[in-house]
Structure 1
């Protein structure tokens, strides 16, 4: 939901669109109308482009929105608003394709300008300094801003003492507890949760989080209704599936009760689920620990499991200056069934070329640096790959072919450990062509510069599927939400259910 395309990238807008259709189910784009403006002092400052130039770019976004509408792809026009920096940054989205940008200095003026229209304004990177682009909860309007983006490439704004720090954009400073999402909840606001990117080079970056919506169908109208009703949650990386029901109502709902809440949730992870935290008013109410609940179960017969394949790494570009990109070809074949393929993509150049119930063919492009060299691009070294869900006999083999070479994978061994494979022939050839027949008493010159791929540990279905039901007693009004952690560090956060005790 947070793809910031800049003026100097507008020619690439169709490329962004074709890429996003591969990795996301819908796309709310956030056009970024700002640039670093030179000044007479010599210090450049961030400012908005000239109105006429912004208008020209906005019409290009509108043209694409109309094209997407004809093609049946849910596309929402949007732009980033920053104002005077006193209320925090917000992304403004429109249901219809006739919306126009406005840029008042204050959030209240912004919300008032769109009053009565199908427009939402979503705060992001909340937990920066108040007055310096952090969220100002004093001016919040929950009708205009029904949810907040609490995780992105910036890190987590949920609170100021959680493990996912905001340390990537060092110029914006460390996070503070004064502006966090939990501060907004504690002040009584009914505000939901999303995560989503804040990507400026490639849309839909896997590593930066995603917005999940519980919608009746994949139309703009159904998605918009779900957004307005806060039926949203966020994931930090992979597509963890979550459903929460409280007294028959979904996440984001407001319910009345005599004090008893029957909470039910279902989680389908992408790797082993470690724990699920039930939070009441930002405080841990109960922890459902799943680690230890499945590991001793025998792996035998027909088994359903997931594993992640990552491709990347490679030569030190300070030494091998031309080795900044690699194109891979691959194929996975299974004797059982290939049930699902999740794309874990961070850059352009990725493709599934064929897929059926037995196999998946793909071409992958990995980079040794960000896609553009831009400081707001992905982290320095990213991998590309997939999460595969497979059903096969525990004593069978998968056949993985990378760049024409086959690597048989024992399913039983995959449950024991991950494995890393190096493209030894390629790095030996590169080393010899560059430096000649070198020798060394250990393999550092080759291993450190080899392209590699990692076959992640396989996790059985019992490790990543969790269902739970419990009756909770509440003596006063409050909210209930989930925080979900996988063993690999992936997280999910659900919008709260807001409870009124009669």
Structure 2
């Protein structure tokens, strides 16, 4: 497999790659669906690192509604029973340089907001989950660290109202929480008006719980995403991923990068985002008495709609890719999506994709699992149902499953994105379940091509419009004089035309005072 990993030519990111992970997701080790073995199989298929998280405890859980409290307790007991097995599988999934795994569990709290607890290992104690307050939890984790096992406690779905499982900025500390999970299937907790609103049964997002509110109160933290998926599918496309700038794919290297806040949050497409302020990477704290030299570099997975630079929560500059003339060669992305058909009707797909007249440089899988948050009446037969391979320099295969789009605004398709450099007369051929579709790159530059695998309301597949990199990329340099305040906070926000997004971690610039 040729996996795509982002790199930047900004000097601040020399020798680093942008590794993609999902460190908060669930399966049947607590409450959720599918085995942990399926979860890690799905993770290795399209991620560089992952942690499969068990729901562990809830010290101030409401007793009403009773059925919700009941299934939480069953889930907590299940994790306790399986903890040794969870450690074995997590440790066994890890191979330095190929795939990194971390052990984790989730600590729920109405009062302090939910936190996911991580160990820089595949093994660690579950006992800290019984803490009855956030400070007690921190005390337990400090003891674990003192014994030689580094830990983190990262807030997630921060945007809910404080006291309703949203972050409590009054009790937040960066000591064990260098980053916060800002985007997941719950929505975006960046600002009250940012894309991806909170639509879960737990309620809307509250302005006082957002990331920008926490930054405004003087807290310093970076941004990550994760899916919070509940059906054994870490990295389920579109819900959130953690991107980490690190020199190596090892536990130690990724952990150090998260501690340094060299992280950014994305929703799904593998957007490369790099920022620097006076040569320092995202997450840095620097001192500057005058103007600041800022650089932003982006390479997206679809056409860029806008890239914005924010200072202290306000957009101060905006840029779009410059128009480029077409040529006889194509350097960019060919994306193919599979699915549609009747809702709930499973379609098992057998796909071969081939490219004549050029090579596939890398494959970016954009695959999804079943979107289920809570207990359901029955289980499906399997939760690891996708597999892909790049079988040659010009061919890739995919087997996967779709079940229709649950609503007219919910995308449940499965996708492959091919990164290629070919002539405009090269031909892309997709054979799916016995149906073949062919188009030249020149034809796909003018628009998508569609085919069905049967009659009316059957499954369908589409070759999306060919995307040249120049429509998805930009490098932007600008100078800002700052506000004159003691500290200014800068970060970048990316929006693609396909409703995929990215947010860099902030950089803090402090003005020296005499």
RMSD: 2.4
Partner of 2:185: 153
**Does 2:85 correspond to 1:60?**
yes
Partner of 1:19: 42
Q: CA deviation at 1:157?
A: 0.8
Distance 1:107 1:388, change over 3 A: same
8 Å Cα contact 2:91/2:121 also seen in 1: no
Partner of 1:417: 447
Partner of 2:501: 491
Q: Distance in 1 between matches of 2:290 and 2:167?
A: 33
Question: Quick one: which of 302, 307, 313 aligns to 2:329?
Answer: 302
Q: Distance in 2 between matches of 1:452 and 1:65?
A: 37
Q: Is 360-369 or 184-193 further displaced after alignment?
A: 360-369
Partner of 2:17: none
8 Å Cα contact 1:277/1:484 also seen in 2: yes
Q: CA deviation at 1:139?
A: 0.1
From the CA coordinates, give the structure whose radius of gyration is larger.
1
Q: CA deviation at 1:41?
A: 9.0
Within 5 Å, which residues of 2 pair with 1:108-123?
Answer: 108-115=135-142, 117=145, 118-123=150-155
Q: Deviations over 1:285-314 (max 9, x none)?
A: 111122xx21xx332212212132110011
Partner of 1:210: 241
Distance 1:188 1:271, change over 3 A: same
Question: Quick one: which of 243, 246, 259 aligns to 2:290?
Answer: 259
Distance 1:185 1:298, change over 3 A: same
Q: Distance in 2 between matches of 1:404 and 1:315?
A: 19
Q: Distance in 2 between matches of 1:176 and 1:451?
A: 40
**Does 2:173 correspond to 1:135?**
no
Within 5 Å, which residues of 2 pair with 1:422-441?
Answer: 422-423=452-453, 426-427=454-455
8 Å Cα contact 1:125/1:154 also seen in 2: yes
Q: Give 5+ residue unaligned stretches, structure 2.
A: 1-22, 370-383
Partner of 1:386: 416
Partner of 2:210: 180
Q: CA deviation at 1:325?
A: 3.1
**Does 2:436 correspond to 1:396?**
no
Q: CA deviation at 1:23?
A: 1.1
TM-score by length of 1: 0.86
Q: Deviations over 1:62-111 (max 9, x none)?
A: 1123323467631100000113x111111110113442122323222212
**Does 2:111 correspond to 1:86?**
yes
Q: Is 304-313 or 349-358 further displaced after alignment?
A: 349-358
Partner of 1:441: none
Q: Is 40-49 or 256-265 further displaced after alignment?
A: 40-49
**Does 2:32 correspond to 1:32?**
no
Distance 1:421 1:126, change over 3 A: same
Distance 1:364 1:10, change over 3 A: closer
Partner of 1:436: none
Q: Distance in 1 between matches of 2:65 and 2:248?
A: 54
8 Å Cα contact 1:330/1:403 also seen in 2: no
Q: Distance in 1 between matches of 2:435 and 2:74?
A: 51
Report the secondary structure of 1:15's partner residue: helix
Partner of 2:319: 288
Q: Distance in 2 between matches of 1:271 and 1:63?
A: 39
Partner of 2:340: 313
Within 5 Å, which residues of 2 pair with 1:361-372?
Answer: 361-368=397-404
8 Å Cα contact 1:354/1:362 also seen in 2: no
**Does 2:462 correspond to 1:454?**
yes
8 Å Cα contact 2:349/2:433 also seen in 1: no
Partner of 1:100: 125
Q: Distance in 2 between matches of 1:50 and 1:203?
A: 19
Q: Deviations over 1:327-347 (max 9, x none)?
A: 332222231121221001003
Partner of 1:438: none
Within 5 Å, which residues of 2 pair with 1:340-379?
Answer: 340-347=362-369, 348-368=384-404
Q: CA deviation at 1:316?
A: 5.0
8 Å Cα contact 1:324/1:369 also seen in 2: no
Q: Distance in 2 between matches of 1:384 and 1:174?
A: 29
Within 5 Å, which residues of 2 pair with 1:265-280?
Answer: 265-280=296-311
Q: CA deviation at 1:50?
A: 8.8
Q: Distance in 2 between matches of 1:282 and 1:362?
A: 42
8 Å Cα contact 1:353/1:363 also seen in 2: no
**Does 2:278 correspond to 1:247?**
yes
Partner of 1:466: 474
Partner of 1:437: none
8 Å Cα contact 1:480/1:498 also seen in 2: yes
Task: For CA contacts below 8 A with separation 6 or more, give which structure has more relative contact order.
Answer: 2
Distance 1:191 1:245, change over 3 A: same
Question: Quick one: which of 67, 76, 79 aligns to 2:102?
Answer: 76
Q: Is 387-396 or 141-150 further displaced after alignment?
A: 387-396
TM-score by length of 2: 0.84
Partner of 1:433: none
Q: CA deviation at 1:361?
A: 2.1
Report the secondary structure of 1:287's partner residue: strand
